[in-house]
Structure 1
Amino acid sequence: ILCLLVLIKFVAYKKEKTVSEKRFFQSKLDITIISIACINILFNIYGINKLVFLIFLTLLLELFSISAENIMYNYNVRV
């Protein structure tokens, strides 16, 4: 899950933004990543594996959607 979080951060950071947008969204993304990591640690400590797996699947879906958006943006694919 931690690898997915790091990958999402790098994929989301590559999008073209202004300096103020990068600063604003990067801080929000850092807070979100830290929160998700802490929640996962707590769920692992208490043995709630179903919720950890649900978070994993959600992050995987997020990674696919960000990657698809970047592919569409880079290749100017029109839907």
Structure 2
Amino acid sequence: MSAGAAALRLGTTVAKTAADIWLGGRRQQERHLPLAELVRVRVPGLRLQRGVKRQFGQITYAVFDRLEMTSAYRWVCMSCLPCPGSHI
């Protein structure tokens, strides 16, 4: 699996988990709304909605950067001998 695909899958999981926690025991039908629609329904005001969307975007980029960095480290580490992390 490529780092981009892994980042997308992990980002989706993080966003779904955050939405489940955010909704808690609230209305069941809201659990199936797309994130953008859920933010529109639950967050009052356009400015706050944009802030929430920006935060989710920042989470996505942070996850991708971390996966990209981890992937690069593993490639470098596994291509040299001896390497303390070669068991990865």
TM-score (norm 1): 0.46
Greater RCO, CA 8 A, separation 6+ = 1
Structure of larger gyration radius: 2
More helix by share: 1
